[in-house]
Amino acid sequence: LYVRNEEGYRNLMILTSKGYIEGFYYKPRIDDELLEKHHEGLIASTACMAGEIPRALQAGDFEKAKSKALFYRDLFGEGNFYLEVMNHGIPEEKTIRKGMRRLHEETGIPIIATNDIHFLEKEHANAHDIFICISTGKKQTDTKRLKTENPEFYFKTEEEMRSVFPDFPDAIENTVKLAEKCNLTIPQPGPQLPHYEIPEQFASPESYLQHLTYEGLKVRYPDVDEETQKTISQRADFELKVLFDMEFAGYFLIVWDFIDWARRHDIPVGPGRGSGAGSIVAYALKITDIEPLKYELLFERFLNPERVSMPDFDVDFCFERRGEVIEYVHKKYGQENVAGICTFGTLKTKAVLKDVARVLDIAFSESNAISILVPEGKTPDGRKINVKIALELEPQLKEFYDRGGVYKDLFDVAAVLEGMNRHVSTHACGKVIGRSILTDYVPLIKDQKSGDIITAYTMDIIEPCGLVKMDFLGLKTLTLLKNCETLIRLHSPSFNLEKIPEDDEPTFRMLGKGRSEAVFQFESQGMQKILKDAKPASIEDLIALNALYRPGPMQYIPQFIDSKNGKQKIKYPHPDLEEVLKPTYGVIVYQEQVMKVAQIIGGFSLGKADILRRAMSKKKEKEMAKMEVEFVEGAEAKGYDPKQAKEIFEMLKPFAGYGFNKSHAAAYSVVAYKTAYCKANYPAEFWAANLTNEINDNDTLKNYLAHTRDEGIEILPPDINLSDKTFTVSDGRVVYGLMGIKGMGQAAAEAVINARKTNGAFSDFPDFLEKTDLKSTNRKMLEAGIQAGLFDSIESRNRATLLHNLDAVLEAALKKKEDEAVGQVSLFADAAEEVEANLNWEEVDGWSGSELLRLEKELLGFYVSGHPLDTYREIWNKTSNLDLNKIKRSSSDKPYTVLGMIKNVRNLVTRKGDRMAFAELEDFNGTVELTVFSRTYEKYGHLLVEDAILGVIGKVDLSRDKPQIKVDEIKVPDELKIIGVPEIHIELVDDEYSEEDLIDLRSFFQDIPGPGALFLHIRENGIKTVVKASNQLGIAVDDITINRINDKPAVAAAWKE
């Protein structure tokens, strides 16, 4: 089908949409009935060999082919239907061409000549063949696979087309005539806002928005002085005027409506995201929750009165309930008016090399090595890395290429396929809303995995075509905070996260120690170090650090920290800029600061300043040169020295590119502060909420369980009478949630909780089976529960016996329920007692200690009954001198000894043929990655057996994302040397401890005597010194002691060596 005009375009969108949504069977399909309804404005041709008429000709049914040809000619109209011939050298095409000529002679329907184009260049035939293999998961050597017949399926020139159709001279001209009939410019009206129904007492969307704004401001600013009220009113009136002039009142009302619905239904909404937090109107409407005047956020950064562009609110919702908001939008605006947005997954550089290598049957070890050699990011001159550039930059890749043969093919084909669309999927958070049904604007398809209806056009096309895009993002941290608040309110009903103090001393003390694990935006190892150095004391500090911790502005972090902590004098480019740069200690951090500088020095309006910022960030040289003249002239008119004005303009250039959007940084830093507040003040609830948030992510769950225990919080094992569906808190201890047990699904967990609420606590295992809806549970869940110790509190029998008798007990319970269902109820026995009485329990020996622990770790992520190293604890205390929980603070020069259990051994052979290994070592405090190079492996490789208890000796490598130990020696426990006196190292908070703090520490140490030697790490005037305490001041060496020391205000960190 070809489009003649706009009517045909709209009909084609309807046809393709219905084919994908209603007619999809392996491929999208439509029928004649649908064509009859939507054929106007379209031209049709008979298509390739797989077309309806060519298939009839191949089958020898000329009359059917003729009948269909006449049907389509009459349907589309004279001159709007063509017979199509192709010549790729395929024998069947000769039959089709012969039949098409006869059809033309008998019906007069014109013939066009086309080529079935699968790739652009003839030389790309092999690359296309490999692409098919990638798509179908085949190797090129597979003879029974989908492939094209020959290399003729490319975009041919006119000469090439004429040479293959000597018998159809008019067909080429007809093809050109058909193309000339296609006169369509795709309508691009720009975003068309859907109609928003306003209450009848308001004359327009503008008057309703104004009313909501003024009412909202009364709530947001209930008690302000006259001057502040004047500032608020002026700002609101300015914003409303801009919104009305740009006709965006409806957009604000639409966003306000679904956020208001979410809030009214107790669905957590983020405080803001992106530049939208700079609007006081959005703040009044509770679209955002960041006070723009307080944080000096600029409306012009969000919506520039001098540059009309669509506003864009990205809204965060609770991860678990985001779908409810989307469903509300579907219902409000109509299912046919709302859809998701398609996105294409493309073949990236590393992925395409691996995919092509697989098809060419290159060994995985080699393709993996090649992929690793590809540089990341961009070249020094700003070029994005691709296959060709990687070959230029990396000599080892060039060595592979120069081998020729299959390796040359690998890089040549990968270079052709790189960037191609591999699959279509749904954009993670984007939705479009149409003023009318979506097929008036864009074609639709159905995501075959999710079943969602999505646009067939990508995000960059849909808005020009008339649709409004909204982003509904799911933020797990909002879910975390909601769950945490719920847990806290169980013992403190009045607690409200919206009313916590913004200057909480325990929160900033914790952050200043770098103890920000699991704190939103501040959890990374690098950020922990920066927090420790910067010692943030306000949310404003957090905003700045959040904005600075990115490629580019990172280079200014040392200046920011030294200026903040008084180690470097704060310098301002001009005294008039002190007010703007004082919050960030003289460093330009935010885009908004760039705009303010342009306003103060250059006399620019904030709208014009934003245009300058954009030009600088995108390095638009011509536009910058023009605006530099205006900047200097404006500065001179305001009385500034032109030379200094030029210097300031030059200074702004890099910061305009590096600078971060303060509105976004402020919103996310407020979320971060709330997270940190919960961690500092309610650690048990905080970690329980985190564990619940990650309940389906086994690796993160294990990591958070370790953090919880490291902070001295006891974790109670799962208990059938105590555990909830998710993790909870009881007397300051975290109670393991049922869904945290591997193999326990949500339905089973809910069945247990419902049974307990309805029928009371369970007395034993048969009683549990009697009271629980067994349709919602299954044997796998029960087996996992037994192995994890879920029933230990109600069963005297050991776990092995319960599991051994599970089938019999389950069968008896099911039989009893069936009997009850048909009225066969015992008159004398309790149901559970009857099950028990009819059973002949077969007692078996309990599992060994090691098996119990293995199952606990596998199913729960931590050990309950003990630890595999328990029998080696004395040796561990005397030989291990590295605390794996504090490994990030260790020295990279010092050799350490650690005793632990070997896990996840991966033996491999290097390209040189040497054997080496990676493994993990787990001890009481944590787990560390081991790297065993060939020289060490040669001597000790035979000891690296799964679950072996071994001591490793080596140096710590902190250069990677995760610390590693590069192993030099491996010993069995009895061969390890006993270390000298154990050491406790304490790093004091820089320059912030008092004499009273030191007296308090000394008193504390005297109360916990032990064999440990005490070392204090002190930094004064930028110089770090280590002081050994008196030999008389020996202290206890254990995790509880270290946790208690870490809680002291004067202590930045404490660890054992």
Q: What is the mean pLDDT of the chain?
A: 90
Residue 893 has pLDDT above 90, yes or no: no
Question: What pLDDT, on the 0 to 100 scale, is given for residue 827?
Answer: 45
Residue 843 has pLDDT above 80, yes or no: yes
How many angstroms separate the CA atoms of 269 and 263, rounded? 7
From residue 511, give the alpha-carbon distance in Å to each of 281, 321, 414, 961: 33, 30, 47, 21
Asked if residue 587 lies in contact with residue 545, where contact means CB atoms within 8 angstroms, the answer is no
Give the type of residue at 974.
D
Return the bridge partners of 929, or none.
920, 964
Return the bridge partners of 1023, or none.
1020
Please state the three-class secondary structure of 746-814 as a single string.
HHHHHHHHHHHHHHCCCCCHHHHHHHCCCCCCCHHHHHHHHHCCCCCCCCCCCHHHHHHCHHHHHHHHH
Question: What pLDDT, on the 0 to 100 scale, is given for residue 880?
Answer: 86
How many angstroms separate the CA atoms of 37 and 154, rounded? 34
Sheet strands (E) in 209-354: 314-318, 338-346
DSSP symbol at 48: S
Asked if residue 973 lies in contact with residue 897, where contact means CB atoms within 8 angstroms, the answer is no
Give residue-wise pLDDT tens across range 531-559: 999 999 999 999 999 999 988 889 999 99
Give residue-wise pLDDT tens across range 438-494: 999 999 999 988 889 999 999 989 989 999 999 999 999 999 999 999 999 999 999
Q: Crossing angle, helix 395-402 and helix 364-373, to 10 degrees?
A: 140
The H-or-E segment that residue 209 falls in is: helix 205-220
From residue 731, give the alpha-carbon distance in Å to each of 488, 675, 715, 762: 12, 21, 11, 22
Confidence of residue 823 (pLDDT cuts 50, 70, 90): low
Residue 215 has pLDDT above 50, yes or no: yes
Q: What is the mean pLDDT of residues 596-615?
A: 93
Residue 836 has pLDDT above 70, yes or no: no
Asked if residue 213 lies in contact with residue 236, where contact means CB atoms within 8 angstroms, the answer is yes
Give residue-wise pLDDT tens across range 797-809: 999 999 999 999 8
Least confident of 14-23, 212-221, 650-659: 650-659
Question: What pLDDT, on the 0 to 100 scale, is given for residue 989?
Answer: 76
Q: What is the mean pLDDT of residues 832-841?
A: 62
- Compute how many other C-beta atoms are within 10 angstroms of the C-beta atom of residue 384: 9
Residue 835 has pLDDT above 70, yes or no: no
Q: Which two tokens stand for residue 473?
A: 């993002």
Work out the angle at residue 979's Cα, subtended by the Cα atoms of residues 977 and 981, and round it to the nearest 5 degrees: 160
Residue 840 has pLDDT above 70, yes or no: yes
Q: What is the mean pLDDT of residues 706-711?
A: 86
Question: What pLDDT, on the 0 to 100 scale, is given for residue 838?
Answer: 59
Q: What is the mean pLDDT of residues 163-173?
A: 93
Give residue-wise pLDDT tens across range 114-161: 999 999 999 999 999 999 999 999 999 998 899 888 999 999 999 999
Confidence of residue 1041 (pLDDT cuts 50, 70, 90): confident
Q: What is the mean pLDDT of residues 854-881?
A: 86
Closest by Cα among 706, 701, 736 to 719: 736
From residue 333, give the alpha-carbon distance in Å to each of 328, 435, 1009: 9, 9, 71
How many angstroms separate the CA atoms of 41 and 598, rounded? 54
Residue 828 has pLDDT above 50, yes or no: no
How many angstroms separate the CA atoms of 1042 and 1053, rounded? 9
- With a pLDDT cut of 70, the percent of the chain lying above it is 96
How many angstroms separate the CA atoms of 60 and 756, rounded? 73
- With a pLDDT cut of 90, the percent of the chain lying above it is 68
pTM for the complete prediction? 0.84
Q: Are strands 895-909 and 915-922 parallel, antiparallel or unpaired?
A: antiparallel
Any residues with CB less than 8 A from the CB of 974 and at least 6 apart, and which?
875
From residue 129, give the alpha-carbon distance in Å to each of 410, 422, 616, 758: 13, 14, 45, 63
Question: What pLDDT, on the 0 to 100 scale, is given for residue 776?
Answer: 82
DSSP-assigned letters across all residues of 125-155: HHHHHHHHHHHHT--TT-SSS---SSTT-B-
Least confident of 34-43, 125-134, 504-513, 983-992: 983-992
Q: What is the mean pLDDT of residues 155-183?
A: 94
3 state SS of 845: coil
Question: What pLDDT, on the 0 to 100 scale, is given for residue 981?
Answer: 64
Q: What is the mean pLDDT of residues 58-69?
A: 96
How many angstroms separate the CA atoms of 998 and 1020, rounded? 15
Q: What is the mean pLDDT of residues 815-831?
A: 63
How many angstroms separate the CA atoms of 160 and 164, rounded? 7
Asked if residue 904 lies in contact with residue 921, where contact means CB atoms within 8 angstroms, the answer is no
Q: Which two tokens stand for residue 307?
A: 């540059």
How many angstroms separate the CA atoms of 792 and 721, rounded? 10
Confidence of residue 1030 (pLDDT cuts 50, 70, 90): low
Q: Which two tokens stand for residue 361?
A: 């049957």
Query: What burial letters (b/e) apply to 634-646, b meaning 16+ CB within 10 Å?
Result: bbeeeebeeeebe
Domains of the chain in sequence order = 2-115+156-181 (3.20.20.140), 205-303 (no CATH), 343-475 (1.10.10.1600), 477-675 (no CATH), 693-720+727-860 (no CATH), 870-975 (2.40.50.140), 983-1056 (no CATH)
**Taking the chain, what is the end-to-end CA distance rounded to the nearest angstrom?**
76
Give residue-wise pLDDT tens across range 269-326: 999 999 999 999 999 999 999 999 999 999 999 999 988 788 888 899 999 999 999 9
Confidence of residue 573 (pLDDT cuts 50, 70, 90): very high
How many angstroms separate the CA atoms of 252 and 259, rounded? 11
Sheet strands (E) in 212-271: none
Per 3-state DSSP, the chain is made up of helix, strand and coil in percentages (nearest 5) of: 50, 15, 35
